[in-house]
Each structure stands twice: as C-alpha cells, then as structure tokens.
Structure 1
C-alpha cells in the first residue's frame, strides 16, 4: 500500500503534536492499573517459562505509582520527523480520485 499526501500530512501532524507534548511535560505518573500491568509484563518477560507454566511470583497488593520520564531528545526527534514529513507531504501531488 502506498501512502498518499493526506496520510503523510496526518502522520506529520500527529508526530509533531506528540513531540511538542513530550517537550512540554517532564514526566508522566501512571495509574495503579497501568503500573500493575507493566509489572506483570516485566515479570513475564523475565521468566517466560514460568509465565507459561503459571508460576510467576505474586505481586504485592499495592505498588507505588510508576513515573515515566522520557529523554529530552525524544521530543526533538519526533518534532523533527514531523516537520520533514510535513514538508514532504507539501511536495507530493494531490491524491487522485
């Protein structure tokens, strides 16, 4: 499948907005459900055989909220890719049909 001008423009805007959000926010605090989900996946990936057998260790009832701090370069990277895709979409021809 070949991407047309409108799809490139949508991806560009999405990546630019995501990059701006990552530049404006320094960290994200996950909910307890999201923290538990990540902890379960981390235990399963640490012991894949035990996860298949159902013998993974139990998690505590309460987990401290996980704080995710994306690196500074990630926001700049997404902004840059979004800008390049935006200008690329402007140079493409209009979609037919």
Structure 2
C-alpha cells in the first residue's frame, strides 16, 4: 500500500513539473508587480552597502512604479518538461507494477 502512495506522489509531481515547464516554454518573460519588485530589491540580491544595491534601493524607494522583468533561459523549460515526463512515467510504471 505504501508503494502505491509513493507512486501517486511521483505522478502528481510529474504533472506539476509538466505544467510548469509548459508555462515557462509558452511565456517569453514575466513582469513583476511593483510590490514584488520592491520585495526583491530589499531581500534578494546585493545589499545597500554595494554600489548596485544602493542604486536599486534608491530607484525602488523613489516612489516610481518600477517593474522588474524576468526572462528565463529556454533550458529551464525543457529541463522541467523532461523531469516531469520522467516522474509521471515512473509513477505510472510503479502503479502498473503493483497491480
């Protein structure tokens, strides 16, 4: 019974990775909201003690509606699609093997 539960988890993880990979492949870039851009400027990346970090904090805190654009490389989408397919097939084979 435990083996079948693990197989279902593999299938679900594979489906989620397939959907995420399809989404990443279909979309060219993602544009973040101003609040998400502000969050990233304050919590991720260089700190305000560096030149680039100080410039980022200045621009984000100036009150302008700054939006960060994220462009992902194509290999991330293909890697997610491949891993999703492998996990889904592996889970399907585990379910078929237990019957």
- TM-score, length-scaled by structure 2: 0.74
Counterparts of residues 1-97 of structure 1 (less than 5 Å) = 4-42=6-44, 46=47, 59-93=61-95
**Structure with the higher helix share, 1 or 2:** 2
- TM-score, length-scaled by structure 1: 0.75
Consecutive unaligned residues of structure 2, counting only runs of 5 or more, are: 50-56
What secondary structure is seen at the aligned counterpart in 2 of 1:4?
helix
Is residue 9–residue 86 contact of structure 1 (8 Å, CA) maintained in 2? yes
Question: How many residue pairs align between the two structures?
Answer: 85
Cα drift, residue 47 of structure 1: 5.8
| Separation of aligned partners in 2, 1:79 and 1:89 | 15
Consecutive unaligned residues of structure 1, counting only runs of 5 or more, are: 49-56
Is residue 5–residue 92 contact of structure 1 (8 Å, CA) maintained in 2? yes
Cα drift, residue 26 of structure 1: 0.4
